[in-house]
Amino acid sequence: MNSPTAVVDARTAKKKHTKPTHVNNILLIEDEPTFQLLFKKALTKEGYEVHVMDSHDAVHDLLLRGELSPDLILSDNTTYTGKHNLNGISFAAKYGATYPIILCSAEEDIVNGGKTNSQFKATLQKPVPLKHLLDTVNRVASDIPAPTIKR
pLDDT tens digits for range 18-64? 888 888 999 999 989 999 999 999 999 999 999 999 988 889 889 98
d(C-alpha 121, C-alpha 100), whole Å: 6
Buried b (16+ CB within 10 A) or exposed e, 19-35: bbeebeebbbbbbeeeb
For the domain bounded by 22-65+88-122+135-146, which CATH number is listed? 3.40.50
pLDDT band at 12 (very low <50, low <70, confident <90, very high): very low
DSSP 12-71: HHTPPP---TT--EEEEE---HHHHHHHHHHHHHHT-EEEEES-HHHHHHHHHTT----S
d(C-alpha 7, C-alpha 12), whole Å: 9
Indicate the domain borders of the chain. Answer: 22-65+88-122+135-146
Alpha-carbon distances of 85 from 1, 59, 74, rounded to whole Å? 54, 12, 18
% of the chain with per-residue pLDDT over 70: 80
Higher pLDDT, 121 or 78: 121
| Segment (H or E) for 6 | helix 4-13
